[in-house]
Amino acid sequence: METSPHCANKSFVLSDWHNVNQEVQGLLKEWGADSFMSQLEINYSNYSYFAVSSLGLDNNPREDGGIERPRPHRIEDPLLWLLMENKVIESSK
């Protein structure tokens, strides 16, 4: 639910990434996604979990079917992680 700290810090914040990655892993286990998680572990040596929203919090359709203006949340995190992994941007604790 917190705002991504990476852009404000001008580096990829490893502590935030670790917390989000662990939280999403816990949720996936709770939701019974063990098979999905096993497939990632088997097929990839380097992967991470992220929590993003393209529409933002509390943006369910209204009764008329419309939605409020999208307020993307943390959509930059996966791209910034890839940039950090490929040494395009720096990381910080």
pTM: 0.82
Instruction: Find the mean pLDDT for residues 15-43.
Output: 97
* 50 domain residue, yes or no: yes
Measured CA to CA, the distance from residue 38 to residue 40 in angstroms comes to 5
What confidence score (pLDDT) does residue 70 get? 83
DSSP H/E element including 16 = helix 14-30
* 7 domain residue, yes or no: no
Domain extent for 48: 14-59+68-92
Instruction: Find the mean pLDDT for residues 68-77.
Output: 88
* 82 domain residue, yes or no: yes
* 22 domain residue, yes or no: yes
* Count of structural domains, the chain: 1
Is pLDDT of 61 > 90? no
Three-class SS state of 34? helix
Winning range, highest mean pLDDT, from 2-11, 29-38, 49-58, 63-72: 29-38
Is pLDDT of 58 > 80? no
State percent of the chain over pLDDT 70.
99
